[in-house]
Structure 1
């Protein structure tokens, strides 16, 4: 939903009310693309406004109340883009990040193409069971990122891959999540055979299954491919480049 809203913002035409980012238009686009229900989209916008991630445009039409991401939100998303471009460069030795930093104005063109790609990507839109379980949890993506980031690459081929997580309470505190809600999701994942503990539950190192690890990596690879394709559309290789 965040990508949908940002794309609508960057594609807006301040001189055409029909193309402004408004609550009603956002809800309609989210629903039309089967991203979430209208109620979920409405609740999402209210959260974005409450936490100053989005704001009403000053001096806007009082009847439509156009919205825009705050400056801090654009800054954070710029960090998201640079992190993904840096990752792609590490994979193939490319120079995407340097080229992007030379043309930061291209963000307004790049992000909508990323949003289009994510909406069209089946691996991203229809992830497997455990990934889908976490993605609907507040900060669920960060939960999975934290689990996977604590994995020793040498252990990635194991059926039960140790993570760096031991205490559910500490895990919830680090992520600013409800311990009860996080614990409920972890128990469901445990019932699926996707996570577990090497010793006593909640008091020993947590492991993730190889299947869950592959689910996560599949989605990350698909997302990186979307970012790469969007980058190529914005920054086509010059003559003489391979």
Structure 2
């Protein structure tokens, strides 16, 4: 991944690191200090896992940090005002601008989402020099659900009604929400490159789902001095849930265990797995940064 980022930076002629909708660190700290914030984080993790279970192919396609960012890059082109739309070239331009991936990786991503029907060719652009695509109806439904769960998480924190207002008019609000949202997320360096424990999982195939599942399985009633106990006991259990190989899952767990992010509370494979306070803090901070950008973007959309 680091090699690819270096390639992307070398290829890019316009890379910038000035966050749009950037939130001061103090805002993140205040959000994370809210008594209702841990419940919102758990809510998001549970919904990410549920989203995979309802649409495994689409969810697995975007279950890495890089593909998630490439998805945002594609959406920024679809909802952006420059008229270029989503194409292999425009997605690659955004990938290079934000130091997400190399040109060839962006091209491969475009080919993959086209192959699996995540996007479809845009009618009326048949004679253009390159294929311009739009999100499929299924992809739009997943996008609406993804936005709604984040707005609902915000509502859990401050007892707001954003989710209710969004669900009342998603067709009107989504095109207004996505430009500031995608730009805010892509331009924030802390969102693009989170902490080391988060990266262990998020940069690999379906690693984000493994991380979501661990957080979703936290047992709030159980106390553990080193962190939080989960309902996960065996690697095979979690690998099977996401149709992953046990070897791949074991490697990710071993890397996280080596730097103190996870471990077994007793005998390995026969006792609940725990995640450290640091691991949860990295995951929670990522969600906090996203939620603050969602908050600002939704306010802009409604305005």
The alignment's TM-score, normalised by the length of structure 2, stands at 0.71
Matches within 5 A, 1:50-129: 50-59=115-124, 60-61=126-127, 63-104=129-170, 105-129=172-196
Distance 2:153 2:256 in 1: 28
Counterparts of 2:97 and 2:177, CA distance in 1: 22
Query: Where has structure 1 moved over 6 Å in runs of 4 or more?
Result: none
**Structure 1: gaps spanning 5 or more residues:** 237-242
Query: Separation in 2 of the partners of 1:226 and 1:158?
Result: 33
Change (3 A) 1:119 1:155: farther
Q: Which residue of 67, 71, 75 maps to 1:2?
A: 71
| Corresponding residue pairs, total | 232
Asked which structure has the greater RCO (Cα within 8 Å, sep 6+), the reply is: 2
Structure 1 residue aligned with 2:102: 37
Matched, 1:171 2:244: no
Aligned residues of 2:121 and 2:131 also touching (Cα < 8 A): yes
Q: Secondary structure at the match of 2:228?
A: strand
Q: Any conservation in 2 of the 1:148–1:163 contact (CA below 8 Å)?
A: yes
TM-score w.r.t. length of structure 1: 0.88
> What secondary structure does 1:208 align onto?
strand
CA drift at 1:157? 7.4
Superposition deviation, residue 200 in structure 1: 3.2
Task: Report deviation, 1:154.
Answer: 4.4
Once the two structures are superposed, residues 63-114 of structure 1 have per-residue CA deviations (whole angstroms, 9 ceiling, x without a partner) of 2111121110000110011111111111101111222223321101101211
Superposed CA RMSD in Å reads 1.9
Q: 1:208 to 1:49 in 2, by over 3 A?
A: same
CA contact (8 A) 2:98 2:187 kept: no
